[in-house]
């Protein structure tokens, strides 16, 4: 598995985590609460979320490294849509 991680500074981490998980629960078997979440996009690709008072941490796991950048962009786009009132700094690292 190829793993990448982004720590996004925001006071609204729990809200965004829940919005993202609820959004994807219509297509995927999502597990989440106010502080953590898991979205399995497929058998080989998933994102884990963790929220605290200062940041949303996103950990992406992909089996196919060619899918990593595309999936990061999908997650980024959705987060930015929900966080349109903030300008978030999203930087992924391997």
pTM of the model: 0.94
pLDDT of residue 68: 96
| 23, 71 contact by CB (below 8 A) | no
Query: Measured between alpha carbons, how far is residue 71 from residues 5, 53, 74, 84 in Å?
Result: 12, 26, 5, 20
Which residue matches tokens 């994807």? 24
Q: Which CATH architecture has domain 2-85?
A: 2-Layer Sandwich (3.30)
Helix intervals (H) in the chain? 13-24, 68-82
Residues 6+ apart with CB under 8 A from 33: none
Q: Phi then psi for 2, rounded to 5 degrees?
A: -105, 125
What pLDDT digit, counting tens, does each position of 47-78 carry?
Answer: 999 999 999 999 999 999 999 999 999 999 99
């Amino acid at each position: 598995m190829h793993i990448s991680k982004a720590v996004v500074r925001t006071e609204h981490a729990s809200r965004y985590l829940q919005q993202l998980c609820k959004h994807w629960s219509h297509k995927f078997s999502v597990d989440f609460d106010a502080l953590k979440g898991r979205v399995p996009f497929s058998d080989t690709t998933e994102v884990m979320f963790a929220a605290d008072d200062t940041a949303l941490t996103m950990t992406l796991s992909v089996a196919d490294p060619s899918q990593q950048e595309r999936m990061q962009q999908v997650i980024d786009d959705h987060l930015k849509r929900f966080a349109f009132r903030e300008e978030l700094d999203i930087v992924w690292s391997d």
